[in-house]
Amino acid sequence: MELHYYPGCTLKTRAKGLEDSAVAAMAALDIQLKEIERWNCCGTVYSLAEDDLAHHLAPVRNLIRAKEQGADRLGTLCSFCYHTLKRANILVRNDSAKRKTLNDFMEEEADYNGEVEVVHLLNVLKDEVGWEAVTQKVRVPLHGLKVAPYYGCTLLRPQEVAIDQVERPTILKELVEAIGGEAVDFPFATECCGSYQVVSNPNFAAQRAWEIISSAMRKGADALVLSCPLCHFNLSERQSELVQRYSDFTGMPIFYFTQLMALAFQLDSAVCHFGLERADPLPLLKSRNLVS
Amino acid sequence: MRTELSIKKLRSDFVKKVEELSGQSLLSCNQCGKCSAGCPMCFAMDLLPNQVIRLAQLGLEEDIAKANTVWVCASCLTCSVRCPRGVDLGRVMEAIRLVTMRKNVDYLDAVKISTATLSSLPQIALVSGFRKHTA
C-alpha cells in the first residue's frame, strides 16, 4: 500500500531518526510512505483566534498539494504537524465562510473543500495494519525493556483531533506490547512538556522535563516513547544538566515510536540516527542486547 | 490591594475584543477552578488561569497585563478539554496575547536569543515560539 506523507521541517533535521525509522519500519509492513512534493512548513501551531485566517494558509496549502498529487489521505508523524493539518482541515470542512475567504485568497490553487483525510501513523498502525501484523514482523522482541508511553498534548487535544481517548490513551502502550516491550503507565503521560516555552522560558521547560522524567523513573521505566519532535527535544536536551542538579535524577533515553519498531524489526540501526540523541540510548540498548 | 470595578470597565473594548477574538463567552465561567487544577504551567504563573478569566470578566485589563500568565501558557489545551462550562480557555489566552501583540508589543525579543541557543533549537520550537510570543 502507498500512503502519501507529509514530513514537516524538523523531521529533516533534528528528528531524522523519526522520519528514517518510520519510512523503514512502514516499508517492512508493506506501506510505502510517499513524501508529497512542494510541501511547506505547517505553521507548527494552529491559530486559535477567530479573525486570524492568514495562519491557516500554510496548513491548507499542504492539503491542497496533497490533493493535487492524487492523495485522498495524508499521513503524518510529527504531532505538531498532525495537529495543525488536522484542525485546519476540520475548519475548512465545517466553516463555509472561512473556507470561501481562504479559497478566494489563494489565487493559484484550485478550491479546497477538505477532501483529503489527515491521519497519524499510529492510527494507521492500529486501525489498518493491526497489532498482530506488527507483531509478526518482530525479529528481536524488546523483552525486558520498560518503556513509558508519553503522548503530550497535540495528539490528544482537543477531542476532535484526538488519536485515542483524550484522558486515558492506550495506543502507544498497545504498540510497545506488540513489539515485545513492557509498557509502563505513569501519571504524566498526557501532560505538557512545556512546548514552545523552551524558546522564551527555557527553565520552565526544563522543570517540566524533570517532573515528567522523574515520574517515569519512579514507575520503573527505562525510557520514554513518543511521537513529537518538540517533546523529544524538551525532554532530552537538558537531561545532563538535570542530572547534575538533582542527585536522585538519572534521566532516561527518549525514543520515537518508530525507532523502537525499527529495533524490533531488526532494521539497519542507521535509520534510527541514535547519534543525534542528547540522552544516549546505546548503553541501555546494549544492556538489553538490542544492539550489538 | 484595592480594585476598582466599574460599568465602564465591564463594557470596555478589552472585554469585547477578547470575546470576539476567542469566540468565547467569558461569563460562561463560574470559577470552579478546574482549569487551574490541571494546568501544567501554573507553577510558573503569577495568576492562575481561572483568576485571569475572572479579571477578564470584570474588564481589568491592566491587572492581567501585569501578570505573566498568558505568556507562560503553553497552549496544551488541558483546560479547554476539561472545562465543565465549555469555555475554550486556550482561545481566551490566545486572544489576550493578541490584544497585547497587536499593539506591536512582543513578549519574546528575538535579538536577545544567543547564537548557540538559536542553533540548538529545532525549527518546530522556533516557529511555534515566535508565533506565540511575537507580533
At B15-40, the pLDDT tens digits run 999 999 999 999 999 999 999 999 99
Same domain, A109 and A169: no
* CB-closest option in A78, A158, A200 to B107: A200
For residues A111 and A201, state if they share a domain.
Answer: no
What crossing angle do the helices spanning B123-133 and A229-237 adopt, rounded to 10°?
100
Provide the grid cell at A267: 532494521
**A46 CA to centre of own chain:** 16
Provide the 10 A C-beta neighbour count for residue A158. 18
A-interface mutation test, from B118, B124, B133, B134, most A Cβ less than 10 A away: B124
* H/E element, A149: strand A146-149
Comparing alpha-carbon positions, the chain B residue that sits nearest to A200 is B108
Asked whether residue A148 falls in the same domain as residue A257, the answer is: yes
- Contacts of A11 by beta carbon, 8 Å cutoff, 6+ apart: A18, A19, A77, A78, A229
The contacts of residue A74 (CB under 8 Å, 6+ apart) are: A4, A5, A6, A36, A62, A63, A66, A85, A116, A117, A118, A119
Find out whether A78 and A15 touch, Cβ atoms under 8 Å.
yes
Mean pLDDT across the stretch A129-140?
A: 98
- The confidence score (pLDDT) of residue A292 equals 78
- The pLDDT, as a whole number, for residue A48 is 97
Q: Is the pLDDT of residue B1 over 80?
A: no
As a whole number, mean pLDDT of residues A225-252 equals 97
Is A18 in the same domain as A49? yes
User: What amino acid occupies position B104?
Assistant: N
Strand partners, A34: A4
Per-residue confidence (pLDDT) for residue B4, from 0 to 100: 86
| Residue A98 φ then ψ, to 5° | -70, -35
Percentage of chain B beyond pLDDT 70 is 99
Predicted confidence at residue B118, as pLDDT, reads 93
- Structure confidence at residue A214 as a pLDDT band (50, 70, 90): very high
Residue B2: pLDDT band with limits 50, 70, 90: confident
Kindly report, residue by residue over A136-159, the tens digit of the pLDDT. Answer: 999 999 999 999 999 999 999 999
Separation in Å, CA of B36 to nearest CA in chain A: 14
The residue of A86, A154, A199, A233 whose CB has the most chain B CBs within 10 angstroms, and thus the best one to mutate to test that interface, is A199
- Return the CATH fold of B7-103: Fumarate Reductase Iron-sulfur Protein; Chain B, domain 2 (1.10.1060)
Report chain A's mean pLDDT, rounded to a whole number. 97
Please tell me what DSSP assigns to residue A144: T
| CB-based contact, B134 to chain A, within 8 Å | no
A24, A112: one domain: yes
Using the beta-carbon criterion (under 8 Å), do A192 and B44 form an inter-chain contact? no
The verdict on A8 touching B (C-beta cutoff 8 Å) is: yes
For residue A233, what is the nearest residue in chain B, using CA coordinates? B122
Assess whether A144 and A275 both reside in one domain.
yes
CB-nearest partner of A158 from B22, B23, B81 = B81
> Domain check: are A145 and A275 in the same one?
yes
Q: What is the CATH number of the domain that holds A62?
A: 1.20.1050.140
Clarify whether residues A33 and A143 are in a common domain: no
Task: Identify whether A131 is part of a domain.
Answer: no
Q: Is B116 an interface residue toward A (CB < 8 Å)?
A: no
Q: Is the domain of A178 the same as that of A115? A: no
The answer to whether B124 contacts A52, with C-beta atoms less than 8 Å apart, is no
- Buried-exposed string A83-95: b where 16+ CB fall within 10 A, e elsewhere: bbbbbbbbbbeee
- Rounded Cα distance between A145 and A155, Å, is 24
Average pLDDT of span A71-82:
98
Using the beta-carbon criterion (under 8 Å), do A45 and B75 form an inter-chain contact?
Answer: yes
pLDDT higher than threshold 80 for residue A65: yes
Q: Let me know if residue A133 belongs to a domain.
A: no
The alpha carbon of residue A252 and the mean position of all alpha carbons in its chain are separated, in whole angstroms, by: 18
Say which residues have a Cβ less than 8 Å from residue B4's Cβ, sequence separation at least 6: none
Which of A45, A195, A199 lies at the smallest CB-CB distance from B108? A199
Task: Provide the 10 A C-beta neighbour count for residue A52.
Answer: 12
Domain boundary residue, one of A87, A121, A155:
A121
* Structural domain boundaries, residue A63: 2-121
Q: Minimal Cα–Cα distance from A38 to chain B, Å?
A: 18
Q: Is residue A129 situated within a structural domain?
A: no
pLDDT digits (tens, 9 = 90+) for B80-124: 999 999 999 999 999 999 999 999 999 999 999 999 999 999 999
Indicate if A146 and A102 belong to the same structural domain: no
Residue with cell 518538540: A230
Task: Give a yes or no: residue A126 inside a domain.
Answer: no
A109 touches A152 (CB < 8 A): no
Do A60 and A110 form a contact (C-beta atoms < 8 A)?
A: no
> Rounded to 5 degrees, what are φ and ψ at B121?
-75, 135
User: What's the complex ipTM?
Assistant: 0.96
Question: Taking CB atoms and an 8 Å cutoff, what residues of chain B touch A15?
Answer: 122
Asked if residue A164 belongs to a domain, the reply is yes
Residues in chain B within 8 Å Cβ distance of A195? 74-76, 128
Q: Name the residue ranges covered by the structural domains of chain B.
A: 7-103, 108-135
Q: Give the pLDDT confidence of A185-208 residue by residue, as tens digits.
A: 999 999 999 999 999 999 999 999
Q: Check which CATH number belongs to the domain holding A155 and give it.
A: 3.40.50.11810
Q: Are A288 and A142 in contact (CB under 8 A)?
A: yes
Is A159 buried (19+), middle (13-18) or exposed (0-12) by CB count in 10 A?
exposed
Residue A280 has pLDDT above 80, yes or no: yes
* Mean pLDDT of the residues in chain B: 96
Residues A162 and A267 both lie in one domain: yes
